[in-house]
Structure 1
Amino acid sequence: MVEEFRNKTAIVGVGMSQIGRSLPYGAGAMAVDAVRAAVEDAGLKMSDIDGLTTYAGGYELGHQAERDGMDKASIDYMIGALGIDSLEWFSETKGGGPALAPLSAALYAVYAGQAKYVVVYRAFYRPKGRQFGIRKDQEAHGVDQFLLPYGYGNMLQFGSAMFNRFMYSTGVTKEHLGEYVLHCHRQALLNEHTYLKNELSMDEYLNAPYYVDPLSKLDCDIPLDGAMAMVVTTADRAKDLKHKPVYVSGVKNALGPNASWSFFSAPEHTQFGSYYAGKDIWKRAGFTKNELGFVQLYDGFSVFPFIWATHLELCKPTEVGDYIAEASRKGKEAEIPITTMGGALCEGRFHGMGHILESVWQLQGRAEQRQLSNVETGIVAVGGFNSCGVIALQS
């Protein structure tokens, strides 16, 4: 099945809405803009689209009600807003990696003949006073009853325990993290789509205010308003469209054992979902690490790229600090360039969608000032903690 699927599907169009903070638009309007842009980029019409999918999680806004079209953009809303008469296939994914789970479902749908052209989209709306990942529960059940009453209940806290253990085990230092963060800031200056555009020195990084050890303000992605989308179809249909197809040579999603956000759920506190996704992707990719053109490493927190590099077996665990630091300093000249668009740390929090869009642009030769030379293959590693995924792409 793995070899049969290889290079039989493709990403053929990508698009995004305006991105910013406290924008005067809801998730629905931004999702519509992104979908229309992706469909136009593919050289298609909206009437060609017969499938839609999105990640339905991550809109949690505490006790506030979720308003469809404002706080979220459901498929029910999007059908009407896009003027689509009917769909042959649709899916709202709740579990798994926010970007890769719905993309994987879409790829399998077109491969199986359930639809011809499927749009995958992800929208975020973050009004003032509401924060993603901050728990406002009035009751605590299961494991949470031992955590929430004591103030242990958000992603920064979960990350602190896991990341400290990982850094202790591998020898990664704060300076190593800083090299990666500085790399993202340099790449962001070359990307018109990034939100954060500013020079950064190591001293500024090391003196940034901490949230929780080892994470300072500069180690965390930026929550934004906006939407991103992509169109997928079969390889046969893709070859006749507007841009060079980006073929999917392999995909792997994974949940670790006892898939919980709790710090004690991962064996040794360092085997996240990325461990199970990363170790299998090379069997599916159809190319080797020596043939890899670039790798986009998810960076919701700055430690994640180091975790992913070990789980993708790009280097030995005890060498990962120096490996990522060197690749960060070399940029385009690295043996395997990493996270070329500025990452979620500068582009903003879209849970891996931006990493996938950047990979498409790179493989199509449309990455402008960030464009790598003679690149034909890429890996995108998406997610952190318990739910993760990896996709291998070829031009």
Structure 2
Amino acid sequence: MSGSGDAAPPPHVVEDFFGVIQLLSDGSVVRADDAALLAMPMPELQDVPGVQWKDAVYDATHGLRVRVFKPAAAAAGDDGGKLPVLVYFHGGGYCIGALDQSPFHTFCLRAADELPAVVLSVQYRLAPEHRLPTAIDDGAAFFSWLRGAGSADPWLAESAELARTFISGVSAGANLAHHVAVRVASGRQPVVDDVDPVVRVAGYVLLDAFFGGVERTAAEANPPADVSLLTVEMADQFWRLALPAGATRDHPVANPFGPESPSLEAVALPPALVVASGGDVLYDRVVGYAARLKEMGKAVELVEFEGAQHGFSVIQPWSPETSEVIQVLKRFVHRRYAQLRVEKDKAKLSGIISTLVYFQFQHLCFVWVIKVFVKYPLSKNKKYKSVCLRLRCARLPCSLLQVIFLFEWGWFEHFIQFPFYGAYIAGWTSYPGILFPAESSH
């Protein structure tokens, strides 16, 4: 019998994030509403005239949703009314945030309307209940859904050109976008198969990406005086809650170019648009990310907003700076579309040239083979040899010889025997417009 003194002590708080997330000593998590941390006060959801939106489930097992934003401009898209697709991951340090919170919802509305594009805002599981790489796995699973059941959704089937898909996100969502883009580009997450339509990642966009590292950068060591949303201490706490237990900020998810990270040199990443805010404690990491991509010869465009705060595009979704971000994003998407069109046209032209060269080569080979077999018939049948003699005497066009060869291709040894031997037995003196020379008396 156990005494009262043997009772296990109640779990205590080992990590407290502003009372919103409390990690207890037994591994359990207590959560409160995190809306106040993302925008104060949290505005109500707004609608943009001409943009429809709805939710769909892409992972029924975990109850994960995608919010689909379809603009009216889809009816006048470039390719049969179809528009590019912008896959968007919300921010929140991998620990807070939701696709239906007003800042993220509003940015997606604006992007859908002003790009225009079909925007897909993707829900993913949060830490510390689901530590990384769970969120990245969810992002990858979304692409599996998109190329399968998702492509059959009426809105996507009507309006989305999946061959022009862009991966994007803000803060932790930008980090997630990077890792999903790497998975796709390295072949670990296939998005192209025999299923139509084909999903092709045309580029990826990182807005104030949430990266980390053990060694402090200059901006982290001496942060801007007016930092309002994300501090160094908050970033560190997010990583402690989100990374696998015991991992440091040099974990590959946090630090993609750190000492523990695999090289991206051989990964065929699509072109990237990287947006950095001058007033962000992560400014150096974001700029450094773009610089490393450039060093490796990757296509990358860096756009800086001097004095802007981390996550300004969602914290102030109607600000002039956010309007400029959307215009930058629009130029990137349209420029990539133009490049893809050029690549597509080049591929078509190359295919036509290759086909012409192939058939010309095939044509010459066929003529040569037929002439050899006519001159040296393999069959000892006298009537067949007589037909071959007639062919040698006839001046048949090369094109007809090629057709004859194709017609009897499967017979190999006797590939020219049957049509002409049959004609000879029937007593014909001509074959489709070609006159046979009169039989010689000698």
TM superposition score normalised by structure 2: 0.23
Q: Work out which structure has the larger RCO, using CA pairs closer than 8 Å and 6 or more positions apart in sequence.
A: 1
TM-score (norm 1): 0.25
